[in-house]
Amino acid sequence: MQFKNRYSLFFLLFLTITLSACGGGSTTEDPSPEDLQLKFPAGTLLKAWVGAADTEIIPTTAIQGLTLTRSTDSDCDLDNYSTCELGQQDILTSDRLTDIAANLNQPAWYWLQDEDKTSQALTISANKFTPRSYHQAISFNNKLWLIGGWSREHNNDVWSSSDGSNWVLENGNADFSARSAHQVTVFDDKFWLIGGWDGSAILNDIWSSTDGIEWTKENSYADFSSRIFYTVTPFMDKLWLIGGWDGTTLTNDIWSSSNGINWTKETVNANFPKREGHQVISFNDKLWLIGGSDGSNNKNDIWSSTDGISWTQVAASSSFSPRSTHQLVHLGNKLWLVGGHDGSSKNDVWSSDDGISWTEITDNAEFRERINHRAAAFNNKLWLIGGNANGIRQNDVWSSGDGINWQQQSNSATFASRNGHKAAAFNNKLFFIGGETDESLQNDVWSSEDGIDWFQETDTASFSPRAYHQTISFNDKLWLIGGDDGSDKNGIWSSTDGINWTEETSANVFSARSGHQVILFKDKLWLIGGRNGTTNRNDIWSSSDGTNWFEETANANFSPRSSHQVVVYDEKLWLIAGYDGNSKNDIWSSDDGINWTEATPTADFSGRSGHQVVFFQDKFWLIGGKDGSYRNDIWYSDDGINWTQETSTAHFSGRFGHELISFADKLWLIGGITENGRENDVWRSEDGINWRKAYRRTLGSQ
């Protein structure tokens, strides 16, 4: 994008129903809608596995006994649910329940009821907008809306959410052109979308919508010049457009419109300096302009106006650092300033009762430092959505009732998105260890019994944070071997519980490495290949106890490589693909781990690395990896030589650096990195073909 460098556990409670006490006298008032709404204690969960055709609901204890109605119609008449599109109704028990309304491609709405109360409509959606910046987010008609922006391309999609966690794609290709750095505001009960950058030109067109789905072009070329990094703000029954950059110069002109279509130039040169990346908001019967950049320096001055035309400087500099691309929100009789760029990305939060004096609420909020994010007031909370965090676009959503404590809103797993982590089945649980998140390398350990609820065993294990290590269950212990913590390692660690780790040796006889493979074969651990710095290896080592290792060969028949896969089948080791300077699709086998035979130099799947292969239900299953593109294809083989493509495009996104593991008679896929960034999604399959995505929603207030 041409302009992007300008700125750069839970616990379950039984359901309790709060009953309103009646006052004295002989007359009983009719209950209010609030009194008739079914509510849930904090921590109450709705859990499910969302598939391509249906959703498998797992009723938690807290909601068993309630009636669940669902439909793809958000306005379903619950008394006549059978007339609604895909309307269904069941009383929840401890048994799993199949819902045909929600699936991976289709959102649905759920209602929970007891005898006389009904919950609000619960949106169930397995999808979400891509990571992005320069988008717009706004509250309208009791929903949060996200419109357009820059991901890996310009977007003209429109998303909505009634809770911040579940997002519905209202229009994937709206009538306005794909763009970023535009403005969207609500005025006269409509959305108004104005200007922006479409990748080839700066725009000054104007579009409106009453529902966020259907859009009307109101003006192809407005009277004001095309621009970006400006503001559009409702005030005194008008829209006010202020400042910005027209592709050549900064501006400080002011335009107003009483209908959103026809615009009047109020002044060509306001008394505040020209700027971009500022914020303007209506507060206490005034417009307030705060911060921005004059092209050379960021600013922290504050200006106010009672009429939008004449401006008074109320502070030449404020308590917060000079900045641009911050966000300004009006909530609870206060102004709130969130993040921005002051030479570096910020995640501080400030508030003001009067617009002049500012108090720092936190200098380090839970969300990452960022620029070009969006913030909004919704449901009596502050909301922060997406943005650019130190060069990485985000699609995270955070909310706060006080500006201090922020909670990430998600229906995915509770661990951070990552790649290069390693998983193992141990003590009847799924475990995964470490990997790399957007922030840093990790040495955390997580476990789960069901793939939906994840428990952090430790956030800082004894070994250094790392990725592309190996983790395996052997001799009633978890073992961690090698990996990359900024440099390649050859230390060996073990644990009997996943929490407490013992360093078996810090510098073993084999060279430090990452991207290697460790597998259990003929009662021994076998370490095969990997990368030491920039040098790929094809040495093979074995150990009968995990601590003492013997070099079986320094130079196996196959080429030195890393990011390959090794599995056991038919009393043989099978080595599949990897990277030796080129992406490979060769397959080798060995019945002793030392002598290797090439089964095929070119398997049917493309050459790749960072893929995963698991032997499951008497077949090899190969999923994903990178062959120049991020792959989400699925291949299987009965013999390791001849491969059949099950699908070229699975429902999960293309990725590498993910984990695939067999556990509890199912395949489990966890995380990885896609073309849009790292993921923390969890997928499950009973046959390798049909996959379901883990869904976890908090019903009670957080």
Q: Where do we find the tokens 């703000």?
A: 233
DSSP label at 211? Answer: S
Q: Is the residue at 58 inside a domain?
A: no
User: What whole-number distance in Å separates Cα of residue 501 and Cα of residue 577?
Assistant: 32
Range of the domain at 651: 422-698
For the chain, the straight-line distance linking the first and the last C-alpha, in angstroms and rounded, comes to 38
Confidence (pLDDT) at 384: 98
Q: Is the residue at 577 inside a domain?
A: yes
Token reading at 569: 């089948």
Give the tens place of pLDDT for each residue, 10-66: 222 222 222 233 334 444 566 666 667 898 888 899 999 999 999 999 999 999 999
Query: What's the residue count for the chain?
Result: 702
Computed on alpha carbons and rounded to an integer, the radius of gyration of the chain in Å comes to 28
Query: Taking a C-beta distance cutoff of 8 angstroms, is the pair 583, 601 a contact?
Result: no
Helix (H, G, I), strand (E, B) or coil at 83: helix
DSSP string, 572-584: EEEEEEEESSSEE
DSSP label at 332? Answer: T
pTM reported for the whole predicted model: 0.91
Give the tens place of pLDDT for each residue, 496-546: 999 999 999 877 789 999 999 999 999 999 999 999 999 999 999 999 999
Query: What is the dihedral sign for C-alpha 545, 548, 553, 556?
Result: positive
Q: Is the residue at 104 inside a domain?
A: no
CA atoms within 13 A on the CB side of 686: 3
Give the tens place of pLDDT for each residue, 273-316: 999 999 999 999 999 999 999 999 999 999 999 999 999 999 99
Q: Is the residue at 665 inside a domain?
A: yes
Confidence (pLDDT) at 36: 76
Q: Which CATH number does the domain housing residue 528 bear?
A: 2.120.10.80
Confidence (pLDDT) at 41: 85
For 226, phi and psi rounded to 5 degrees? -60, 145
Q: What are the angstrom distances between the C-alpha of 82 and each of 56, 71, 75?
A: 20, 9, 13
Query: Helix/strand/coil (H, E, C) string of 621-637?
Result: EEEEEECCCEEEEEEEE
* Residue among 425, 410, 366 nearest 681 (CA): 410
Confidence (pLDDT) at 43: 85
Q: What are the angstrom distances between the C-alpha of 638 and each of 514, 554, 646, 652?
A: 30, 31, 13, 24
Query: Taking a C-beta distance cutoff of 8 angstroms, is the pair 151, 131 a contact?
Result: yes
Q: Is the residue at 53 inside a domain?
A: no
Tell me whether residue 344 is exposed, middle or buried, using C-beta atoms within 10 angstroms of its C-beta: 0 to 12, 13 to 18, 19 or more.
exposed
Going across the sheet that includes 334-341, the strands are 327-331, 334-341, 345-352, 359-362
Please state whether 126 falls in left (phi above 0), alpha (psi between -120 and 50) or beta: alpha
Q: Is the residue at 194 inside a domain?
A: no
User: What whole-number distance in Å separates Cα of residue 191 and Cα of residue 571?
Assistant: 65
Confidence (pLDDT) at 701: 55
For 237, phi and psi rounded to 5 degrees? 60, 25
User: What whole-number distance in Å separates Cα of residue 373 and Cα of residue 363?
Assistant: 17
* Residue among 473, 444, 489, 497 nearest 546 (CA): 473
Residue ranges for the chain with pLDDT beneath 70? 1-35, 701-702
Q: Is the residue at 584 inside a domain?
A: yes
Q: Is the residue at 406 inside a domain?
A: no
Total of domains in the chain: 1
Confidence (pLDDT) at 10: 28
